[in-house]
Structure 1
Amino acid sequence: MWGVLSASLFFLPFNRLIASVILVAAVGMGVYHQVLTPLSLACLAIIAISIWLRHQYSHQRIIRLLVEIFLVACSIALFYHLIPGFNNPLMVNQDKLGPLSSPYSLYYNFDKALVPFLLFICLPTLFNAGKRDRKVGVRAWVTLALSVPALLLLAVLLGGLKIELHMPHWMLAFMMANLFFVSMAEEALFRGYLQQRLHQWLGAYPALIITALLFGAAHLAGGILMVAFAALAGLIYGLAWMWSRRLWVPICFHFGLNLIHLLFFTYPLYQHP
């Protein structure tokens, strides 16, 4: 089921019809495996009706706006697991990767994986926002790529992380979940939608800073240091989107940072002995 759901997300930027057909199959499998309950299906049916209304009354601006606001609100609710009826399975339960790492749990989140689909309906340019910034050269991109490990090393200097090598047995499960159900969902919301909309309204750099701060605030549960770390990471992902105008670029930066973090540093956080 999770491979099918991942495949639907993979095809979403290239062919919406194929992605939708695969998503329907994933939903059917989710019902069969009781990941989706009648309550979650009822909520998804309401979302589907709103999408139909948006399509049916596409010529009426006020209806399009109201439906977009509703779909964005639903996306945020799915992101924070606020819509009931999703039995997201626990794949890793309080595993301690190393002596200095804090316990880690991994869920496969069906609800969060739906976020890119809803936002793509709201904003057709979610994955491709136009021409990239040709003034940004190779040196700038190399510097941005190097800022990923530099940020993790900064976290070490500040005491939030320690260097610790890992290769957990659930590595492949982590990679699929983190790429599609975490990095893609979060980047679709923060860079693909929020930063792009704010870019249209306020300009490039205000959009970059505001989105990075919101991304940091979304990690408040991890503490103040995590908020600061996430905000700085948000600047990296935001620049990747701003320079490329392609959502897959910040997704790769986001996934790369998380993977480097898992492999070479205490994960998810440093736990004092």
Structure 2
Amino acid sequence: MWILLAGALTALQPARRLALLLLALATLLGFYQDVLAWPALLLFGGSAAVVALRIYDRAHHQRQIVTEALLLLIAIGLLLHLFPGFNNPLQRDHVQIGPRSVPFSFGFNFDKALIPFVLLAALPTLFRAPAALTRYRLPAALALIAAVPLLLYSAVLLGGLAVERHFPAWLGTFMLANLFFVSLAEEALFRGYLQQRLRQALGGLPALLISSLLFGLVHAPGGVLLVIFATLAGLIYGLAWHWSGRLWLATALHFALNLTHLLFFTYPALHH
């Protein structure tokens, strides 16, 4: 089921009909395997109704605004796990990856995986938007790649992390979960949608700063240091999106930072 869902997300931009077919199959398996329960049908039905109204009433500007706002609210609710009917299975519960790391849990999130589907219906340019950078692309790419270990090492200097190498047996499961059901979902909301809409309204720099700050504030339950770290990470992902206009590039950078963090540093934080 999770491979089907990952395949649906991979196909969403280049082959939307295939993506919807794979999503339908994953959804049926989700109900069969008790990952989804009947209240999720209300979300699926309501979302489909909003999308249908948006498609068939394109000439009515005010209704387009209302339906886009509703889709955004649905996406935020999915991010925060506010909708009932999703029994997201844990893959590791309270596992400590290393002697100096804080125990953590992770799993597969069906609800967060729906965010790109919802937001693509709200904003057709979610995956591909106009790029702000037409020259010096290679130096920009190298700078963004270098920023990943630099940011992590700065967290070491601040006392939030320590160098600690890991290669857990469940690495493949973590990579699948983190790429498709964390990184892509979060980038679709914060970069593909929010930063894009803010750039259209306010310009590139305000959009970058505001979306990065909002991304940091979502991590507030982890403490002030995590908010700062996530905001700085958001600036890196935001620059990747702003310069390229490609959601998958920002997602790849997000995933690369999370994976580097897991492999070479205390994860998710240093145990004091």
> TM over 0.5, yes or no?
yes
* Number of residues of Structure 1 aligned to a counterpart in Structure 2: 272
Distance 2:259 2:218 in 1: 20
Residue aligning to 1:170: 170
Residue aligning to 1:97: 97
Residue aligning to 1:152: 152
| Superposition map of 1:95-244 within 5 A | 95-131=95-131, 133-244=133-244
Cα distance, 1:138 vs structure 2: 2.0
Distance 2:248 2:141 in 1: 15
Any conservation in 1 of the 2:131–2:242 contact (CA below 8 Å)? Answer: no
Residue aligning to 2:248: 248
Distance 2:84 2:130 in 1: 37
Percent identity between matched residues is 50
Pair 1:39-2:39 in alignment: yes
Distance 1:131 1:110 in 2: 31
- The 1:82–1:154 alpha-carbon spacing in structure 2 relative to 1, beyond 3 Å, is same
What secondary structure is seen at the aligned counterpart in 2 of 1:14?
Answer: coil
**Structure 2 unmatched runs, 5+:** none
Distance 1:187 1:89 in 2: 22
Distance 1:135 1:103 in 2: 44
Cα distance, 1:131 vs structure 2: 4.1
Residue aligning to 1:10: 10
Of residues 255-264 and 45-54 in structure 1, the stretch that sits farther from structure 2 once superposed is 45-54
Distance 1:101 1:203 in 2: 40
Distance 1:10 1:216 in 2: 26
The CA deviation string for residues 87-115 of structure 1, in whole angstroms up to 9 with x for no partner, is 00011011111110000111210000000
Residue aligning to 1:77: 77
Cα distance, 1:134 vs structure 2: 1.2
Cα distance, 1:52 vs structure 2: 1.1
Any conservation in 1 of the 2:128–2:247 contact (CA below 8 Å)? Answer: yes
The CA deviation string for residues 24-70 of structure 1, in whole angstroms up to 9 with x for no partner, is 11110101011111111122111111111111212111111111100
| Superposition map of 1:45-64 within 5 A | 45-64=45-64
CA RMSD of aligned residues (A): 0.9
Distance 1:18 1:93 in 2: 34
Distance 2:77 2:137 in 1: 38
Pair 1:262-2:262 in alignment: yes
Distance 2:257 2:150 in 1: 10
Any conservation in 2 of the 1:136–1:243 contact (CA below 8 Å)? Answer: no
Distance 1:106 1:215 in 2: 19
What secondary structure is seen at the aligned counterpart in 1 of 2:136?
Answer: coil
Cα distance, 1:132 vs structure 2: 5.1
**Structure 1 unmatched runs, 5+:** none
What secondary structure is seen at the aligned counterpart in 2 of 1:83?
Answer: coil
The CA deviation string for residues 209-230 of structure 1, in whole angstroms up to 9 with x for no partner, is 0111001001001100000000
Distance 1:90 1:104 in 2: 11
* Paired letter, 1:242: H
